[in-house]
Amino acid sequence: MNAPDRLRALLAEPGFVVMPAVWDGLSARLAAASGFKTAFLSGSCVAASRLGGPDLDLLSLGEMLDSFNMVRGAAPETLVLADGDHGYGNAMNVQRTVRAYARAGAAAILIEDKITPRALTAAGKPCLPRAEAQMKIRAAIEAARESGILVLARTDCRPTQGIDEAVARIEMYVEEGADILLLDSPADEAEIRRAVAAARGRPSFAVLSPGAPRATPSQTEAEALGFKIGTHPTALLSPAAGGMKAGLAALLAGDAEAATALPPPELRAMLGYGDYDTQAKRFIVPG
- Confidence (pLDDT) at 122: 80
pTM given for the model:
0.96
The domains of the chain are located at 3-235, 241-283
pLDDT attached to residue 238 = 96
Rounded to the nearest 5°, which phi and psi values hold at 132? Answer: -70, -40
Q: What would be the CATH architecture of the domain defined by 3-235?
A: Alpha-Beta Barrel (3.20)
Q: Which band of pLDDT confidence, cut at 50, 70 and 90, is reported for residue 121?
A: confident
Residue 43 has pLDDT above 80, yes or no: yes
pLDDT at 123: 78
With 80 as the cut, is the pLDDT of residue 71 above it?
yes
117: preceding bond cis by omega (within 30 degrees): yes
The pLDDT assigned to 287 comes to 83
- b/e per residue, 123-144, with b = 16+ CB within 10 A? eebbbbebeebbebbbbbbbbb
- What pLDDT shows up at residue 210? 82
pLDDT at 277: 96
Q: Please check the confidence at residue 81 and state whether its pLDDT lies above 90.
A: yes
- What pLDDT score was predicted for residue 60? 97
**What confidence score (pLDDT) does residue 110 get?**
98
Q: Is the pLDDT of residue 102 over 80?
A: yes
- Segment 180-218, tens digit of pLDDT: 999 999 999 999 999 999 999 999 999 998 877 789 999
